Amino acid sequence: MGKATVLLADDHAVVRAGIRNALQGCDDIEIVGEVGDGLTLFATLAQRQPTLLLIDVTMPDFEPLAAIRQIRALYPGLKILVVSAYDDDVYVQGLLSAGVDGYHLKDQPLSDLRLAVQRVLSGERWISSPLISKLIGYADDSLPLPSLTARQLDLLRLLQQGLDNQSIAQKLGLSVKTVENHLTRLYRQLNVQSRLEAVNYIMQHPEIMALTGQASAWTVSAPDETIRESVVMLLVDDNARYRRQLKRMIAQVCPRAVMYEAGDIAEATTLVRQLVPRLVLVDVVLGEESGIHCARRIRALSPSSRIVLISAYPDREFHRLGLEAGAVAFLDKKDLDAETLRQIINDVIA
């Protein structure tokens, strides 16, 4: 059996040299080429026909998901091992779904890289060990949240504030008996037995407090006093699971946010026409569509909307094109934490 041929694709020559040195001790592997951008990659793949493509997908002129799908379609027998510095679980899951055979983190020992190459060439799937727990959590977060009425959401907010039944009745203008009946039905929907368990449920699933497609029948003070008014927001991302994660973070910093979500450009533009949202978060890669094109469409339909582009693939060209399309900011998904969202929302409503 002949040697496995490997093509290295990384825009940093130093990184390619390090990988080449790490693989030189493998007698059954031959490196047949190196490229540093997407345009050269496709030409070299056609010319060299390697057994394994070892690639960092953040190269210039390379749109990761679409390009990986194209490579997989053109070369179904090719093994693809991503070697990247990024450990974002959504980033990894997207590439695995697009067809790569393995994902290796650059900060892992060189011996692990050699093992990853051998495993992928033998037909196995490789994932660096630090990523496994993240991906397991990603897969487990799949149970749908109960659909609550505006009144039930109000009750949850008041429970979260520590109010007793009599105080809740006074706030809502209801009798104590009616409040008790509402709470009984609410507990049944949440599958909990008490107000304490209900509050604990909110802590575990804060995204349930974010209204989707409806306004609350009654408004209470937001726990974060820096954000005092309702903000209509639109989340545009083709990954429903990531949208839930993002809604969870937004709910923590802005319980009054009225959030809508879309998975593609057509759905996003329809909602923009209806809602005129104050803030729109758009993923740069929307399956086979371009989030930058989506941002341009939203800007044309709703000039007052503030558009923030987000991406798991940091790229200077994406940043430049996004700002030209009308986005006010471009953020790496791995940097999009609760504090960053708080700053964005405060800036929007200032």
Give the pLDDT score at 133: 59
What Rg, from alpha-carbon coordinates, does the chain have? 24
Give the pLDDT score at 249: 83
**pTM of the predicted model as reported, rounded to 2 decimal places:** 0.44
Q: Considering only CA atoms, which of 251, 252, 208 is closest in space to residue 233?
A: 251
Domain total of the chain: 3
Order of strands across the sheet with 258-262?
211-212, 258-262, 232-236, 279-283, 306-311, 329-332
Same domain, 129 and 46: yes
The gap between the terminal CA atoms of the chain, to the nearest Å, is 67
Backbone angles phi, psi at 263, to 5 degrees: -110, -10
Same domain, 335 and 213: yes
Cα–Cα distance, 108 to 85 (Å, whole number): 10
Cα–Cα distance, 89 to 6 (Å, whole number): 26
With a cut of 50, which residues of the chain have pLDDT below it?
138-142, 211-229
Same domain, 233 and 136: no
Cα–Cα distance, 116 to 110 (Å, whole number): 10
DSSP 8-state symbol, 130:
H
Q: Which domain holds residue 157?
A: 143-204
Question: How distant is the alpha carbon of residue 77 from its chain centre?
Answer: 29
> pLDDT by residue (tens digit) across 305-345?
999 999 876 667 778 888 888 898 888 887 777 788 888 88
> pLDDT by residue (tens digit) across 176-223?
888 888 898 888 888 888 787 787 677 666 666 654 333 333 333 333
Q: Considering only CA atoms, which of 291, 168, 187, 280 is closest in space to residue 238?
A: 291
Same domain, 109 and 158: no
Give ∠ CA 298-300-303 in degrees, rounded to 5. 85
Same domain, 183 and 103: no
Same domain, 293 and 342: yes
Same domain, 72 and 8: yes
**Residue 212, domain CATH:** 3.40.50.2300
